[in-house]
């Protein structure tokens, strides 16, 4: 049955006869020497992949025939070495090349890299070429990741619940580890390696110090050894108060020598279990988590202490910038920048500051975070969220790549035009070699891993974008659909069109025109723009939309909170001037009159009615497109998505009606007759 378990690694027989013949003629044998765990993994994958896709066993060879696939590193293979491929000078320790060439008068294809990890990435890339029906004549591919640390952040707790998880429980079965190895761990590693992900943070940023105790470290070590052949390093979240909680110390003050020593000893212990341990991800002094500020120290002092402990082993610290203080700030938007900007240049070289894509919290649409471009002396790492906390959770289909790209392509103007967020995080703008992109995982124990089948596309997109942020959303969707469903053009185009319209559809039925954080309090599911009873003002939707009889929106100009001052003058000017502020960000930055004339000629209120209705219409169009593919998709996956789209349609209507009826109590204007009138309940 098609339950989605295989993800995009479905190696079924190529269903195009001509192509199958071509591939069979072009691939006649495999030459792969060396028996390191990494090369064994590559060998296993290429054998499994080819026997499925080509429907026959491709033999391992020692000699060359026309159609030999020669795979390896100069160290593992004399044949690869003797080719002296010049491109291997550019592929570093993770890139690869795939080249058609002549050997002993025979046409062969060489998949070559400097390391085992590079070979594995090359193998997955080659299999993807076949899965997506690409030509394989005259190949000359050279691919190198643009970002060094490409990481999933699991918000998984030790009791297997997952914070903001909508796909079942945590796949880490702590209870049965280290002796029981769920086969799923290996499939997880394969899936990640296939898209270039090379790190995984196993535990929630709201951390439990217990994971740093020996009982858990041996479990972590077991996972690390399964992931290692696939080029994946394991990281843990470090609870800042661990020295007190599990170490018996009286303080966790980062300037205290005993505390420093405790972390040094802890690091040493961890590396005894896991020699290639990646390092720590830390959430400190945010939402009640302990941190250096508890002792009057700043983020740099906290991060540096951990960095010093990890440095002898080449570990890194990913210190999160998602912070907001004990008291309710006048504008939460400004907090991360206010705390971190002054610390630029104060961090150790093995620290990265991990910044969420936007200033508030993973909303359907956010402007880029003002820290990007503002800390040139500090490597900034991107944090996206795959799990759909504010994006309809388990029931809504939203392809997130367009949202990621919007941020990556945004221009910070930090060093003049062209200083995109992507160039900040890939290190090019400020000359950093320590670089990274992370995303909060959407993976759980559901058979199909991500709950909603289309959640897989977001996991896929994250890996591909971390490898190469210049890929378009369209290209990534294209690859994913071909591998996950089919290469049939009609099907491909329909599914892509659903995916590519889904993000804007969601923005329209949830938070059009720059509205944000108007979801239900705490659980963040469904609309609750009226809510004003949270224990902190900045957890209330009313704090964010500020609707009143005059208008709606958060004034972040110099007349308001002046958060815009955190951007470069170019960006600030564009957002500050209501006539140049893109309308999709309007209510992020301005409190706008209900009667304000929009570019469409409609008033703001009418535009809002229009957008909410467009959102609902778009979901209905997605439903119709999906329904049209019934014959072309297996029943299981067809029904799965169909039922979820039905829920999504209901929810889109719920969002629209709830928001329009509520905001109408301020605008006091009618919903224009051409739109569906909300049912008053």
Nearer to ligand GCW, 67 or 290 (CB): 290
Q: Name residues contacting ligand GCW, limited to 111-130 (CB under 6 A).
A: none
Q: Is 173 in the site for ligand GCW (CB under 6 A)?
A: no
Identify the helix (H) or strand (E) that includes residue 187.
helix 183-194
CA distances from 128 to 125, 135, 320, 353, 487 (A): 5, 11, 34, 33, 12
> Does residue number 545 form part of the binding site for ligand GCW (CB under 6 A)?
no
Q: Does 240 bind ligand GCW (CB under 6 A)?
A: no
* Out of 146, 148, 154, 164, the residue judged to bind ligand GCW by CB under 6 A: 164
Shortest distance in whole angstroms from residue 332 CB to ligand GCW:
11
Q: Which residues contact 439 (CB under 8 A, 6 or more apart)?
A: 151, 152, 153, 383, 384, 385, 386, 462
Binding status of residue 353 toward ligand GCW by CB under 6 A: no
| Residue 35 C-beta: closest distance to ligand GCW, Å | 42
Site for ligand GCW in 279-338 (CB under 6 A): 283, 287, 322
At closest approach, how far in Å is the CB of 283 from ligand GCW? Answer: 5
Helix (H, G, I), strand (E, B) or coil at 147: coil
DSSP conformational letter for 165: -
Residue 83 lies near ligand GCW (rule: CB under 6 A): no
Q: Helix 299-310 vs helix 257-273: angle between axes, to the nearest 10 degrees?
A: 40
**Closest by CA position to 613, among listed 676, 658, 666:** 676
Residue 482 touching ligand GCW (CB under 6 A): no
Q: Pinpoint the alpha helices (H) of 321-472.
A: 335-340, 401-408, 421-425, 455-467
> Left (φ > 0), alpha (ψ -120 to 50) or beta: where does 460 sit?
alpha
The reply on whether position 163 binds ligand GCW by CB under 6 A is yes
CB of 439 to ligand GCW, least distance (A): 12
Instruction: Please report the DSSP string for 38-99 in residue order.
Output: HHHHHHHHHHHHHHHHHSSPPPB-SS--TTEEEEE-TTT-HHHHHHT-GGGGTSTTT-EEEE
**Distance (Å, rounded) from C-alpha 61 to C-alpha 657?**
65
Question: Which residues are catalytic, by number?
Answer: 287, 361, 389
Supply the minimum distance, in Å, between the C-beta of residue 459 and ligand GCW.
18
The least distance separating ligand GCW from the CB of residue 419, rounded to whole angstroms, comes to 26
CB-nearer residue toward ligand GCW: 390 or 467: 390
Question: Can residue 205 be called a binding residue for ligand GCW (CB under 6 A)?
Answer: yes
206 binds ligand GCW (CB under 6 A): yes
Footprint (CB under 6 A) of ligand GCW, residues 244-283: 283
In angstroms, the CA 537 to CA 282 distance is: 25
What does the block give as tokens for 252? 């966790």
Structure tokens at 371: 């820290």
**Residue 70 interacting with ligand GCW (CB under 6 A):** no
Q: Does the footprint of ligand GCW cover residue 155 (CB under 6 A)?
A: yes
What part of residues 357-416 is at the interface with ligand GCW (CB under 6 A)?
361
| Number of residues binding to ligand GCW, judged by CB under 6 A | 9
- Write down the H helix ranges in 228-320: 242-245, 257-273, 299-310
Closest residue to ligand GCW using C-beta atoms: 361
| Min CB(287)–ligand GCW separation in Å | 6
Q: Is 531 in the site for ligand GCW (CB under 6 A)?
A: no
Is residue 543 a contact point for ligand GCW (CB under 6 A)? no
Here the tokens at position 136 are 């394989």
* Residues in contact with ligand GCW by the rule CB under 6 A: 155, 163-164, 205-206, 283, 287, 322, 361
């Amino acid at each position: 049955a098609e339950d989605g378990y295989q993800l995009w690694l479905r190696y079924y027989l190529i269903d195009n006869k001509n192509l199958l013949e071509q591939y069979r003629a072009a691939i006649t044998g495999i030459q792969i020497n060396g028996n390191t765990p990494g090369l064994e993994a590559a060998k296993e994958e290429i054998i499994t992949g080819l026997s499925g896709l080509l429907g026959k066993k491709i033999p391992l060879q020692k000699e060359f025939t026309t159609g030999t696939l020669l795979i390896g590193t100069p160290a593992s293979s004399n044949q690869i070495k003797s080719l002296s491929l010049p491109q291997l000078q550019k592929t570093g320790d993770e890139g690869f090349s795939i080249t058609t060439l002549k050997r002993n008068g025979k046409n062969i294809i060489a998949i070559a890299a400097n390391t085992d990890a590079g070979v594995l990435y090359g193998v997955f890339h080659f299999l993807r070429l076949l899965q997506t029906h690409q030509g394989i004549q005259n190949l000359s591919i050279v691919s190198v990741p643009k970002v060094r640390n490409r990481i999933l952040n699991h918000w998984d707790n030790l009791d297997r619940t997952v914070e903001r998880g909508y796909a079942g429980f945590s796949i880490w079965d702590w209870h049965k580890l280290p002796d029981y190895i769920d086969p799923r761990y290996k499939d997880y590693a394969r899936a990640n390696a296939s898209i270039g992900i090379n790190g995984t943070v196993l535990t929630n940023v709201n951390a439990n110090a217990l994971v740093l105790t020996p009982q858990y470290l041996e479990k972590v070590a077991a996972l690390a050894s399964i992931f290692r052949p696939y080029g994946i390093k394991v990281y843990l979240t470090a609870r800042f108060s661990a020295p007190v909680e599990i170490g018996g110390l009286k303080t966790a003050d980062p300037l205290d020598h005993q505390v420093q020593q405790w972390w040094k000893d802890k690091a040493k212990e961890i590396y005894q279990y896991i020699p290639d341990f990646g390092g720590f991800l830390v959430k400190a002094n945010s939402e009640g988590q302990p941190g250096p500020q508890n002792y009057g120290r700043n983020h740099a002092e906290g991060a540096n202490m951990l960095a010093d402990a990890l440095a002898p082993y080449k570990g890194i610290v990913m210190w999160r910038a998602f912070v907001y203080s004990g008291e309710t700030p006048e504008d939460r938007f400004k907090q991360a920048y206010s705390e971190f900007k002054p610390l630029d240049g104060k961090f150790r070289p093995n620290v990265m500051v991990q910044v969420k894509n936007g200033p508030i919290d993973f909303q359907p649409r956010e402007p880029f975070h003002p820290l990007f471009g503002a800390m040139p002396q500090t490597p900034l790492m991107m944090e996206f969220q795959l799990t759909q906390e504010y994006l309809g959770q388990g029931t809504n289909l939203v392809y997130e790549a367009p949202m990621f790209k919007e941020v990556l392509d945004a221009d910070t103007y930090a060093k003049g035009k062209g200083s995109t967020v992507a160039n900040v995080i890939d290190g090019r703008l400020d000359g950093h070699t320590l670089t990274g992109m992370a995303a909060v995982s959407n993976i759980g124990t559901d058979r199909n891993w991500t709950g909603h089948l289309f959640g897989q596309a977001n996991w896929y997109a994250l890996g591909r974008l971390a490898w190469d942020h210049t890929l378009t959303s369209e290209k990534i969707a294209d690859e994913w659909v071909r591998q996950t469903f089919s290469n049939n053009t009609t099907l491909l185009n329909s599914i892509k069109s659903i995916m590519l319209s889904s993000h804007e559809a969601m923005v329209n039925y949830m938070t059009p025109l720059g509205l944000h954080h108007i979801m239900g309090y705490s659980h963040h599911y469904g609309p609750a723009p009226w809510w004003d009873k949270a224990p902190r003002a900045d957890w209330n939707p009313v704090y964010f939309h500020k609707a009143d009889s005059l208008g709606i929106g958060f004034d972040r100009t110099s007349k308001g909170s002046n958060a815009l001052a955190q951007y470069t003058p170019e960006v600030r000017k564009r957002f500050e001037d209501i006539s140049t502020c893109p309308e999709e960000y309007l209510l992020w930055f301005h409190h706008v009159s209900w009667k304000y004339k929009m570019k469409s000629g409609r008033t703001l209120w009418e535009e809002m009615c229009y957008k909410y209705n467009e959102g609902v219409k778009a979901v209905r169009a997605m439903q119709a497109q999906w329904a049209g593919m019934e014959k072309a998709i297996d029943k299981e996956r067809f029904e799965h998505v169909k039922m979820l789209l039905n829920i999504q349609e209901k929810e889109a209507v719920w969002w629209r009606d709830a928001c329009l009826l509520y905001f109408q109590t301020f605008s006091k204007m009618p919903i224009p007759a051409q739109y569906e009138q909300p049912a008053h309940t």
